[in-house]
A and B are shown apart, each in its own frame.
Chain A
Amino acid sequence: MQEVMRRASRHRSVALAVVIAAALYVLVPFALRGNLYLMSLVVASLTIGGIAVAWALLGNLGGLISFGHAAFFGIGSYASAILVMKSGWPIFPAMLAGGICASLAAVLVLPALRLKGPYFALAVLAYAHIFRIVATEWKALTGGAGGIGSIPRFPVLLGFDFASKTGAYWIILSLVLAFALIHFYVRNSDYGLALRAMHDSEEATRAVGVNSLLLKAMMLFLSAFMTGMVGAFNAHYINFLEPDYAFSGLWTMLPIVAAIFGGYRTITGPLVGAVVVYLLDQLVFKAVMPIGHQIMLGAMLGAMILWNAGGLLPAIAGWWRRHRGPLAPHA
């Protein structure tokens, strides 16, 4: 009986996911066709969203708060651009390599894994700064402070132009959804269970054979990989890179705001948070307050935390339960 109900509810969630995915892939580009500005804002918000999902994965599963994701973003973007321009790689494999390079760079963060809470966050912040300096000084490879221009655009594949706004939207949407799916599967795996156990019972978890340091490192590599991929996407989408842009602290700050606002303990919360936060910022706050509109982001985040510390998605889910009964009715 319970099994039947569980299966029915799972079928319902799968059906719902398919409907939402179809809407995202088809309805959004259709509804926004011709409005290139709005479309570019959506793409940018998903770019933030991709980092936010990766950042939340590290926080949720690895128990690590990072202030340095801009480093992984920047490394991914430079690596992919350089591979395409200097070594003639095709763009999509180069993006993958960009993610891998970000993971490799994360190896340098490993010694900080033993640090707890704010100390880890600060150590990573310092790392991020180092990479920015390297990108500025290693002129032969990165073009130095002047940056790299005319980075190749996404190709035409199967007759479809991925360099178009809709094409870019599909690429970043696919990346972000894939990340969310990966987060979901890892969280529900035995590794997710061990990681959850580790957070407040590290000694007990190690005593039953869990290599907690390795698991944390894997989450760091995974998160860095995802962030690097997003950076690579952005490089080929914007077609221009300079150290102050690619390693900008905004690539750390905005995803954190988005993740916390949307609900960093949830899988899709950071994504929803990114879209809401970024669109509000660009469409509303910027219009009202052309200079210093980021202050409004801070205020909004503060208000959200005061209202519901869990974030937007958990708040909505709670409201829904109170007013409409449970999400999956036991009918």
Chain B
Amino acid sequence: MLEIANIGVRFGGLRVLDDVSLQVGEGEIVGLVGPNGAGKTTLFNVISGTVPHQAGTLNFGGSRLDAMPAYGRARCGIGRAFQIPQPMHALTVAENVHVAQRFGAGRVDRRAQAEILDLVGLTDKAQRDAATALSLTELKALEVAKALAISPRILLLDEVLAGLEAHGKRMFTQLLAEVHARYRIAILIIEHDIETISALCPRVAVLNFGKLIADGAPAAVFRDPAVVASYTGVPADA
């Protein structure tokens, strides 16, 4: 469904993504891991249309994304949760979800909105200001809620679990499993915690210095010497 082919991105002289190809099928959950600065968030930026790519092509559900602006990709069903939460500051929590649904999904369904807020545990805070009233965990929950409200066919989740304590992490993992079970949405999730990724994703891809170095089942991928080296900083052939 999502086909990323030979994507290359440079920032000035810095090559941040180099010939990256990755496919995500309908309803699939794929983990994306890699050390800091590997280019994971940049890849999400490319998919959702906030960073232009200089090489390669993007297809989603049969349509070319390359020239499509960010809002158009959201309307196509690409929902995104930002690594650094980006609520719509001037709005309440409920209004955040409303705007996402109204413009992203192109319809208004109050029951679906309530269901989403309930699912991510923000019903009590629905009328509060998104900018001031939420904890980090709640801001991350709102990221997921906004992404869900556009009626996505794929969710791009950028470290929504990072920075949460063990309990929050468990809750969130469960939430994502439930989202996936209920809406049958594909999920591409960036996450550093190998245990969480292994539990949630039947498949995981690894980025290192802008190159995709592995793609497969977690058990195999995390045993791959090149992957181990990228994490420990020891070259594979040492």
Q: Which residues from chain A sit less than 8 Å from chain B, CB to CB?
A: 190, 193-194, 196-197, 199-201, 203-212
Contacts and interface: CB of A to CB of B under 8 A. Distances in A.
A206 B87 contact: no
Contacts of B106: 209
Contacts of B87: 201, 204
B126 to A, nearest CB: 15
Q: Chain A: interface secondary structure?
A: helix
26 contacts: A190-B98, A193-B91, A193-B99, A194-B103, A196-B90, A197-B88, A197-B90, A199-B90, A201-B86, A201-B87, A201-B90, A204-B82, A204-B88, A206-B71, A206-B74, A207-B82, A208-B99, A208-B104, A208-B146, A208-B150, A209-B71, A209-B100, A209-B103, A209-B104, A211-B71, A211-B72
B99 A194 contact: yes
Given A190-B102, A197-B90, A206-B50, 6 more contacts: A199-B90, A201-B87, A203-B70, A204-B146, A207-B48, A208-B150
A212 B98 CA distance: 16
A208 B98 contact: no
B211 interface: no
Contact of B70 (A190, A197, A207): A207
A319 B209 CA distance: 61
Interface residues of B, number: 30
A196 B131 CA distance: 13
A212 B71 CA distance: 8
Contacts of B149: 208
Task: Choose among B48, B88, B100, B106 the residue with the greatest number of A CB atoms under 10 Å from its CB.
Answer: B88
Interface of B: 48, 50, 69-72, 74-75, 80, 82, 86-91, 95-96, 98-100, 102-106, 108, 146, 149-150
A261 to B, nearest CB: 25
Contacts of A190: 98-99, 102-103, 108
Given A197-B90, A201-B90, A204-B87, A209 B150 contact: yes
A211 B146 CA distance: 16
A123 to B, nearest CB: 22
A213 to B, nearest CB: 8
**Nearest 5 Cβ contacts at the A-B interface:** A209-B104, A197-B88, A208-B100, A209-B74, A204-B86
A210 B99 contact: yes
